[in-house]
Amino acid sequence: MSDVCIVGIGIHPFGRTEGRSGLDQGVFAVRQALADAGVEWRDVQFAYGASEEAGNPDTMVERLGLTGLQFINVRNGCAAGGSALFSAQTAIRSGQFDLGLAVGFDKHPRGAFNPMPADYNLPDWYGEAGYMITTQFFAAKITRYMHEYGISPTGLGRVAEKAFRNGTHAPHAWRREPVPLDVIMDAPLVSDPYTKYMFCSPAEGGVALLLASERKARELGRPLIRLKAATMRTRPPGSFEVFAPSIDCARGGSATNIASAAAFDIAGIGPEDIDLAQLQDTEAGAEIMHIAENGFCRDGEQEAWLAEGRTEIGGALPVNTDGGCLACGEPIGASGLRQVYENVVQLRGDGGARQVPGDPKTAYSHVYGAPGVSAVTIMER
């Protein structure tokens, strides 16, 4: 079976853009991706679009042109972008199409996400009593993890410090000022042990990726960035997820575990073969736990990894080279695709001041979201 290649990338800067709708940020990204690939909108045969709160993605045909293309909307929580990408690569792998689009955008109101219990098949009292809060879950998960595996609060701070430092070099990032470790550690707590710098914020942004068959990619003459694997999985028994009124005493794995294992299996390589990774870091501890959940280290080794700088841009496994969600914010529909955008930038060697040295050949991306969904990609140049 021939590979699927990413031949065009586009991004609308993340953060807050007053006066520009989420949809228009998506359109901005699509136009950039078209120019990057050297194709026209009329050449695009199909699209999968992801948006959680910014309207139906297929309405962007009004802006881009009424070519009659197949356009399918994807809504899948934090895995929406990953799901759009998975669907797009499957369409090309099937042999039915040669050139397609995965696009994601969003524009969230200020403040924390405000989900309703009924949307997650939960009773109303759960929200009334103050449990429909993602930050509670993230804090409770890392508190347990720190207890079991000896991760320190300073470890959490180091992740946030790295994120803001990397973000200073990413033009699409929202937070572009470095924040010293002591400022991060001494900031007000949001949900113990996390201070305000250790959580990402809902935001705005758009990302577009043009996917092509290998034959089409060669025709376009772009560097061949191959999407070796794209997987999306839901939770196994015994996992600990957002919005859980109870969890099983018999502890199990996570959606991330199985999405990751499946992706490595499909790509035919292992964690030791990955040159850089974008791992869901909606909060500092998530990056720490996801390093292990995705198979890059054993539980508890992260403390030493952080102290040694192994996840820094010049380290053994650079993680979240554009500052991740902590520096970019999280527009749900676009967030997973931003990771893939950043990986393409890095594999092309276009990272500028944040470029991973040593001519990286492989890159990994991972998202996680409620109520226990995960999407992973592995790319090779």
Partner 1 sequence: MRAIAEGLFTQDDPPKLIGGRDRQSGRIVFPCPPGDQFEPCPLARQGRLWSWTIQRYRPKSPPYAGPAAFRPWALGYVELPGQTIVETRLADIDFGDIAIGMDLELTLVALDPDAAEPVLTHAFRPVGAAR
Contact window for partner 1 (CB under 8 A) among 20-28, 119-127, 200-208, 353-361: 119-127
Q: CA 313, CA 114: separation in Å to the nearest integer?
A: 34
Check binding of 252 to partner 1 (CB under 8 A). no
Check binding of 45 to partner 1 (CB under 8 A). no
> Strand 276-279's sheet: what is its strand order?
70-74, 46-50, 99-107, 204-213, 4-15, 226-234, 373-380, 362-369, 276-279
Q: Which of 40, 124, 186, 359 binds partner 1 (CB under 8 A)?
A: 124
Contact window for partner 1 (CB under 8 A) among 128-136, 288-296, 307-315, 321-329: 128-136
Q: Which of 68, 221, 246, 353 binds partner 1 (CB under 8 A)?
A: 246
Check binding of 110 to partner 1 (CB under 8 A). no
Nearest to 264 by CA among 251, 277, 253: 277
Q: Which of 65, 95, 123, 150 binds partner 1 (CB under 8 A)?
A: 123
User: If binding means CB under 8 A, how many residues of this protein chain bind partner 1?
Assistant: 35
Check binding of 136 to partner 1 (CB under 8 A). yes
Residue 317 identity: L
Check binding of 131 to partner 1 (CB under 8 A). yes
How many CB atoms are closer than 10 A to CB 175? 22
Q: How far is the CB of 192 from partner 1 (least distance, A)?
A: 5
Q: How far is the CB of 132 from partner 1 (least distance, A)?
A: 6
Q: Which of 2, 65, 186, 247 binds partner 1 (CB under 8 A)?
A: 247
**For residues 73 and 143, which CB has a smaller minimum distance to partner 1 in the complex?**
143
Check binding of 141 to partner 1 (CB under 8 A). yes
Planar angle of CA 108, 210, 64, nearest 5 degrees: 65
End-to-end CA distance of the chain: 17
**For residues 67 and 114, which CB has a smaller minimum distance to partner 1 in the complex?**
114
> Cα torsion for 189, 191, 197, 202, to the nearest 10°?
-140
Q: Which of 42, 67, 189, 350 binds partner 1 (CB under 8 A)?
A: 189
Q: CA 27, CA 206: separation in Å to the nearest integer?
A: 8
Strand 4-15, strand 204-213: pairing: antiparallel
Q: How far is the CB of 278 from partner 1 (least distance, A)?
A: 26
Contact window for partner 1 (CB under 8 A) among 13-21, 173-181, 186-194, 265-273: 186-194
Query: What is the number of residues in the chain?
Result: 381
**For residues 52 and 312, which CB has a smaller minimum distance to partner 1 in the complex?**
52
**For residues 12 and 107, which CB has a smaller minimum distance to partner 1 in the complex?**
107
Q: CA 369, CA 373: separation in Å to the nearest integer?
A: 5
Helix/strand/coil for 10: strand
Nearest to 29 by CA among 60, 54, 74, 56: 60
Contact window for partner 1 (CB under 8 A) among 150-158, 244-252, 257-265, 299-307: 244-252
Give me the phi and psi of 96, to 5 degrees please: -80, -30
Check binding of 125 to partner 1 (CB under 8 A). yes
Q: CA 72, CA 54: separation in Å to the nearest integer?
A: 15
Q: CA 12, CA 48: separation in Å to the nearest integer?
A: 18
Q: Phi/psi class of residue 169: alpha, beta or left (left: φ > 0; alpha: ψ in -120 to 50)?
A: alpha
Q: Which of 244, 284, 327, 363 binds partner 1 (CB under 8 A)?
A: 244
Nearest to 375 by CA among 263, 264, 283: 263
Check binding of 192 to partner 1 (CB under 8 A). yes
Check binding of 200 to partner 1 (CB under 8 A). no
Site string for partner 1, 264-303 (x = CB under 8 A): ----------------------------------------
Q: Which residues in this chain contact partner 1 in the complex, by CB under 8 A?
A: 111-112, 114, 116-117, 123-133, 136, 139-141, 143-144, 147, 188-193, 244-249
